[in-house]
Structure 1
Amino acid sequence: MSNQLTEQVVIVGGGTAGWLTAAKLAKHLHTSQPANSSQPKAVQVTLIESPDIPTIGVGEGTWPTMRKTLMDLGINESEFMAYCQATFKQGTQFIHWRQEPLASQSENSFDNTLNNTFDNSFDNSNQYFHMFSSALDPADFNLSPYWLAGVAGNDMPFADAVSAQASVCRNGLAPKKIIQRQYDGALNYAYHLDAGKFANFLMTFATEKLGVKLVRANVVSVNQNEQGDIASVVLDSSETIAGDLFVDCSGFKSLLLGEALGVEFVSVDNTLLTDSAVAIQVPYDNEQEAIACHTKSTAQNAGWVWDIGLYNRRGTGFVYSSNHISDDEAEQCLRDYLGERSNKAITQLSAKKLSMNVGYRKQHWHRNCVAIGLSAAFVEPLEASAIFLIEAAGNMLVDMFPADRAAMDYCSRRFNDSLLKRWRKTIDFIKLHYLLSQRQTSFWKDNRMDSTIPESLKERVEHWRFNPVSKYDFDNVFEPFPQESYHYVLYGMGLRHIDSDNNRVPGDLNYAQQSFQEIQKFTEHLLKTLPDHRALLTKVYQYGFQAV
């Protein structure tokens, strides 16, 4: 087995996970190059996609890492955006997460401890932004202690103090101009996109440009060799496809890693209480309606609503706990939200119900099988981490691609260690949003119960009650959420340090003052020069950006 070269990669399942992974592997492994080429021997990548199982199609938010992914694959940004009805995403706006209009003191012990550290001088809108851009990297110079001390102005929200992006989003502006090259921007950005169209776009690109072989069929059984590795899969077309390395992108079913190899699923439903969602696609009232340049996340009594603007429609959904609200009530909650914001006949729009297995497999790579996407892990879509972690897994698989079977055991140990850490850190970060909320319905109170809070998160938050977030709080170069993300959420939700002695401003006060002033000047400049979001998209779809 040690001499068995990795020459055939078989991916089971399409969608964003399957096709993104297939494209990354084929690009890196020279799948499209002729057999007589002088280049390294190509590895064949075959993707098996069921003609009967549709993609979930509601993963519409990405992170800025997607820009590098698409650029590295050689994809034209303008063509991708037009095909996928994609728009720009500059961050997330959290609405009513901090508290209800009339909040009462919680009886939960941990919640009471935290209440003493909150600044309750909320603005009337009760909202904050988690942006993609900060003027300064806090690892180089941390502005948060100076903001906490009021150096930026006592009434200045944190996001506005450290970034121009919140103001740009409020004014409906794009992060770049038509004259800029593709993938360049005045501000950092990601995309909102139609997930179904994105999978189709990647399928066409991967098969036509990168040499990926597509087989449309259902897997009916999995054959293992004497050592327990997957040897082949049998299709309902009676064809048997053998492989050296298998990638499981079969969704929640986890056909290979879970069912065939028996890797256990670890549920985190005792930490993240949301287990269901209902989604509705909403047409715009007219072709000139403004398109938000950020995700809107609005808290509800038993969950929260996402609202994402694509070019041709809005994608909306209600993420909720089935233990706190019925499916029918959840759908009505979403329709009530939409009824306040649209003139369309909301009752005529169809709703799609989704059940979520929140948790992760104990191993993401076992024997000669790697799981990526829903087959490996899933947490609720609050911070749009799903596609980012698909990218991260694909990147690591590409970088550590095993030349033969003997290399797989080492690669799998490193892969599992890295990816499981990232997923656990993601769970902590999502839980942080609920932990810091002062909303008072049973759903929110249950989310603040001591028994639902990971010890790793509890320890950090207790420390941050007295100390600014530091770069030394993050011990891994592959942290999914960096220091500045915690700044945006902690200070956006109103957490303040209650020990004044620990609020002393360290470092160069003059530099901090100058930085805050320059950020405001830059904000004013961008508000005058950046284009309207919809207007730019219309031009991009028609003319495109300059090629890199």
Structure 2
Amino acid sequence: MNSDAINSVTIVGGGTAGWLTACYLARQLNQEAADTITITLVESPDVPIIGVGEGTWPTMRTTLQRIGVDESRFIRECDVSFKQASKFVNWHRPAQGNTDNFYYHLFDGPGFSWEFNPVPYWLDGSLGFSSYANAISLQEQVCQHHLAPKMMVTPQYQGVFNYAYHLDAGKFSQLLKTVATTELGVNYISANVTDVHLDNDGSIRSLSTDRTDDLGADLFIDCSGFKSLLLGEALKVPFIDLNDVLFVDRAVTIQAPYKTPECPIASQTISTAQEAGWIWDIGLQSRRGTGYVYSSKYSSAEQAEQLLRDYLNDSEAELEARHLQMRVGHRQTFWEKNCIGIGLSAAFMEPLEASAIFLIEAACFMLAEQFPKNQRGMDYVRNQFNESFAFRWQKTVEFIKMHYVLSERDDSPFWRDNKDPASIPEGLQQRLDYWLENPISKYDFSSQYEPFTKESYEFILYGMRPELRMDSPVTSPAQREKAQQQSQWLQQSWQQAKQQLPTNRELLTRLQENDFQKI
């Protein structure tokens, strides 16, 4: 027996971060190993889950498949709806009268229906002067008509259009907990951690709780949320505050019922810009999860709550509101000694592009693939992990900030201050200076750790600047004709898609009684 081997993992904290990590590691590390890794999760019975209607990325389909969760079960048990995009309302400019302006960040990028890059042909006007998203995909129209990304005959985890999910975070955690403890062999302890014991080298030796004997492990994972019980409190890893770049630090949330059971379920996360932040609106099967994310420097809690109630037409204040404080930033390191922070314990950015759950998934993917066999290997893996996630969070900050920098809103101090050059990361400014005169190139993305792809940057840049036009040296008359034919074919295909696809609500209703075909 190698006493230096990593044989046991203890996860502190449940929620999406804790249970997703437990499920993923248990499935990936123990499916073929002769010596299984013991995984234990300690969850406080007294700490509520922060869940207000969550959005995911399409990567969640791969994650759930790898864990072994049936998609139909997941949709039924977690109040899930299909998400195909983010819709940004009034970000470019304020609403004019009663008319909103909007653009889409689609999940169906050019790679799903184009054999070549259509961007240069949109930029030079060859595809007409419709929005960029409309010119290269049908998915904006699919979302505008509340349609689902697939049909009942489409096998599970496959789609006619690329998609992710909206879900109830509390119910999702409960499903993962059930899978972890009944199917994957994860040990579960309901207790509060009362003390963290360190070895002479500063690593964590064991945990004391109010209901068990001390718990030891070779590797600890901190999923304790904003408290950051292990990484922040015990190991004293400093927190890097980023409120000089991303200004929002508060949220008020309301769970709103549908007016009637037949109300359409949106196929996209709706983000509507406001005077001191923005409102998210996520349609689940049974309700909408809404919230106003704002900066306390530019709005009071009372003003924010009233603005959200006005958005919901809740004039009688019948719906319960919750107020949250948020600390935007990340730990100086994400893996310290023998402890890894995953989820809110490691970092928090405003939920504008639903990056939080994706970065939990990314941490799970990397940790499972590079899981250290022994203490000697841990130093190398730790350095790789820290380098990777420092870069990922840096690029996440830049991508979120880009939405504000590109806005032409100047109707409030919040929007004007967001365009102050002193608040713009240097890397973002350099990219934008170039991209406003040149098409975005794949060579602008040299690292595999970029969380947001070239296509995502294109949807935001060309959505926020719909009037942007330029010539490109890579265009050719032959390709231009192909591009025009492809765009026209997409628009002609709309009638067929509209006839074949059910609405989001219709498909979700059918799934209450029937299952998708298993692959």
Structure 2 residue 170 is the aligned partner of structure 1 residue 185: no
Give yes or no for contact 1:465–1:496 (8 Å, CA) kept in 2: no
Taking structure 2 as the reference length, the TM-score comes to 0.96
How far 1:218 sits from its partner (Å)? 0.5
**Quick check: 1:198 aligned with 2:192?**
no
- Is 1:415 the counterpart of 2:389? The answer is no
Partner of residue 324, structure 2:
354
Structure 2 residue aligned with 1:174:
148
Distance 1:134 1:25, change over 3 A: same
Q: Which residue of 1 aligns with 2:267?
A: 293
Partner residue in 2 for 1:242: 216
Counterpart for residue 446 of structure 2? 475
**Aligned equivalents of 1:329 and 1:381: distance in 2?**
21
Which runs of 5 or more structure 2 residues have no equivalent in the other structure? none
Which of 309, 325, 348 aligns to 2:283? It is 309
CA contact (8 A) 1:5 1:405 kept: yes
- Pairing partner for 1:524 from 475, 495, 503: 495
After superposition, give the CA deviation of every residue in 1:477-530 in whole Å (9 maximum; x if it has no partner): 2311101111111111116557x5658835722221222123223333212211
1:447 matched to 2:418 = yes
> How far off its partner does 1:138 sit?
10
Q: Which moved more, 1:134-143 or 1:239-248?
A: 134-143
Equivalent residue of 1:396, what SS? helix
Q: Is the 8 A contact 1:135 1:519 kept in 2?
A: no
- 1:143 aligned to 2:114? no
Residue 88 (structure 1) aligned to one of 59, 62, 82: 82
- Provide, for residues 321-374 of structure 1, a one-character-per-residue CA deviation record: whole Å limited to 9, x for no partner: 0000001110111001000xxxx6651111111111100111101111010000
Distance in 2, matches of 1:74 and 1:101, equals 45
CA contact (8 A) 2:237 2:333 kept: yes
Q: 2: distance between equivalents of 1:371 and 1:40?
A: 28
Match of 2:67 among 73, 78, 85: 73
Indicate yes or no: 2:104 matched with 1:133. no
The alpha carbon displacement at 1:101 in A equals: 4.2
Residues 257 and 369 in structure 1, CA contact (< 8 A), matched pair in contact too: yes
- Provide, for residues 90-133 of structure 1, a one-character-per-residue CA deviation record: whole Å limited to 9, x for no partner: 01111100112469xxxxxxxxxxxxxxxxxxx95311010000
Asked if the contact 2:89–2:101 (Cα under 8 Å) also holds between the matched residues in 1, the reply is yes
* Deviates most, 52-61 or 177-186: 52-61
Look up the match of 2:340: 370
Partner of 1:107: none
How many Å apart are 1:171 and its aligned residue? Answer: 0.7
What's the Cα RMSD here? 2.0
The C-alpha deviation readout for 1:369-402, integer Å capped at 9, x for no partner, is 0100000111000000000000001110101101
TM-score for the superposition, normalised by structure 1: 0.91
| 1:154-212 CA distance string (max 9 Å, x none) | 2x111111111000000110000011111011000000000111011100111000000
Aligned sequence identity (%): 49
Choose the corresponding residue for 1:463, options 415, 418, 434: 434
1:17 matched residue in structure 2: 17
Q: Identify the match of residue 321 of structure 1 among 289, 295, 299.
A: 295
Comparing 245-254 with 524-533, which one deviates more in the overlay?
A: 524-533
Task: Quickly say closer, same or farther: Cα 1:381–1:470, change in 2 above 3 A.
Answer: same
SS at match of 1:221: strand
| Aligned mates of 2:465, 2:209 — CA distance in 1 | 55
2:110/2:117 contact within 8 Å kept:
no
Task: Say if 1:495 and 1:450 are closer, same or farther in 2 by CA, change over 3 A.
Answer: farther
Matches within 5 A, 1:110-125: 125=100
Maintained 8 Å contact 1:296/1:306: yes
Aligned residues: 517
Separation in 2, partners of 1:525, 1:451? 50
- Stretch of structure 1 that moved more, 233-242 or 66-75: 233-242
Match of 2:405 in 1: 435
Partner of 1:57: 51
CA contact (8 A) 1:467 1:503 kept: no
Separation (CA, whole Å) in 1 of partners of 2:482 and 2:200: 66
1:29 and 2:45 matched? no
SS at match of 1:136: helix
Letter in 1 for 2:394: R
What's the secondary structure of 1:48's corresponding residue?
strand
Q: Is the 8 A contact 1:467 1:497 kept in 2?
A: no
The amino acid across from 2:303 in the alignment is E
SS at match of 2:280: strand
* Alignment partners' CA distance in 1, 2:115 and 2:237: 42
The within-5 A match list for 1:149-160 is 149-154=124-129, 156-160=130-134
Question: 2:308 is matched with which residue?
Answer: 334
**1:97 maps to amino acid:** W
User: What residue is the counterpart of 1:540 in the other structure?
Assistant: 511
- 8 Å Cα contact 1:138/1:484 also seen in 2: no
Moved more, 430-439 or 507-516: 507-516
Q: Which position in structure 2 is the counterpart of 1:116?
A: none
State the alpha-carbon separation in 2 of the partners of residues 451 and 489 from structure 1. 22
Contact 2:266–2:283 under 8 Å retained in 1: yes
The 8 Å contact of residues 59 and 387 in structure 1, kept in 2 or not, is answered as no
- For structure 1, the 5+ residue unaligned runs are 34-38, 104-122
For each residue in 1:54-91, what CA deviation from the matched residue of structure 2 results, as whole angstroms up to 9, or x when unmatched?
A: 11112510000000000111101011111111000001
Of the structure 1 ranges 378-387 and 507-516, higher mean CA displacement relative to structure 2 is found in 507-516
Residue identity matched to 1:457: L
